[in-house]
A and B are shown apart, each in its own frame.
Chain A
Amino acid sequence: MARRYSAELNLTPFIALFALLVGALLLTGVWGQLGALVSSPAPVLDANSSESQEERVQLSVTVFDNELKMFEGQGQIDVPDIDKKINKDLLLKELRRWRQFHPERKEVVLYTGNRTPYHRMLAVLDILIGEGWSDVGVSAQQ
């Protein structure tokens, strides 16, 4: 006559291990991922200096409350907001045009209005970095 064996697994150590793992992972979990957008020091251009007279065109973007102004040397392009949001399509279009004319350039100076909210400046900085303008100098000029 065949003997009956208990086929039940002993789950106690298994559950103990799981409980420990859950506790450890809860303590070490990262619930809010932080990132950072880096800015380089913005060059201070003196109108009387010889540098400003060079052929090298300064590319800059000025962020205001309701629009952006893009400067390519003496040329200026306005990028007005759409529905109180940055007109990303037009900004990207102009940045890609800049890229065609200045394929080797990576530096852009970012100016801001005094009352411009911080998130608008960061949104433009984010777009610039995403488009390959990795050397963005944020001006502290008030």
Chain B
Amino acid sequence: MNDTKRAFRHTILSPGYHLFSRYDLKNLRWRKSERAKKRKNIALPLASMVDIFAILVIFLILNFSTTGEVSFVNKNIQLPQALNAQTFRSFPLIVVTRKGVFLDEERTETLSELQERLREIQVLKEKTDPKNSFRGRVNLQADKNTPMIKVKKVMKALVAEGWTEIYFATRAR
């Protein structure tokens, strides 16, 4: 045996790393080695994270608006869309749904109750803001498939109390 080994000592090598060099995982081998253990400072690659943040910030700045949504849309209603809508402004909000008529998110049982509460709002407005005369402006939200008879009943009650400037809420197209 020893004779054989001696005879082929230039061709028989002690076993080393077994994978072919073509498929060698040099980086893995390096990490497993002692050299990698010595290096303690591991830096996270933050460039991609900064990129994501930058894109997010730009997108959100583009979506930012100081006007528009000043009231919540009832989840049970789907507003119609309009091309020529004005900016939505803050006036008393009347919502016509299947469950009834709501004034500023509080349900009114009858139209006379709605009128009563509108009178209270009018009195309050005249007391708190006597310089500006009452113009009877009100926002109205209704589902796009609501029959007009329901809307007209509410409108009639509004007009009877002097709330004649009705702003029909729409989704901007």
Contacts and interface: CB of A to CB of B under 8 A. Distances in A.
Contact of A34 (B50, B63, B88): B88
A102 B57 CA distance: 51
Interface string A1-41: 00000001001001100110110011011111111111111
Interface residues of A, number: 45
A112 B152 contact: yes
Nearest to B160: A140
Interface stretch (B2-10, B12-20, B76-84, B99-107): B76-84
A115 B149 contact: yes
Contacts of A140: 152-153, 155-156, 159
Contacts of A39: 165-166, 168
A136 B73 CA distance: 25
Contact of A22 (B57, B65, B89, B148): B57
A45 to B, nearest CB: 15
A101 interface: no
Interface stretch (A51-59, A78-86, A89-97, A125-133): A125-133
A109 to B, nearest CB: 13
Query: Which of A25, A139, A142 neighbours the largest number of chain B CB atoms within 10 Å of its CB?
Result: A25
A32 B87 CA distance: 12
A50 interface: no
Contacts of B149: 114-115, 142
B105 to A, nearest CB: 15
Nearest to A63: B148
Contacts of B79: 34
B85 A37 contact: yes
Which secondary structure dominates where chain A touches chain B? mixed
A26 B86 contact: no
Nearest to B164: A41
A119 B83 contact: no
A114 B86 CA distance: 26
Given A115-B148, A119-B80, A138-B166, 13 more contacts: A11-B50, A29-B63, A31-B69, A32-B69, A32-B73, A34-B88, A34-B171, A34-B172, A113-B148, A118-B144, A118-B151, A126-B85, A142-B153
User: Which 5 interchain pairs have the tightest Cβ spacing?
Assistant: A35-B85, A25-B60, A18-B53, A119-B144, A41-B164
22 contacts: A21-B57, A21-B60, A28-B64, A30-B63, A33-B69, A33-B171, A34-B170, A34-B171, A36-B86, A36-B169, A37-B86, A41-B159, A41-B164, A112-B152, A115-B148, A118-B142, A118-B145, A118-B146, A118-B151, A121-B151, A138-B155, A142-B156
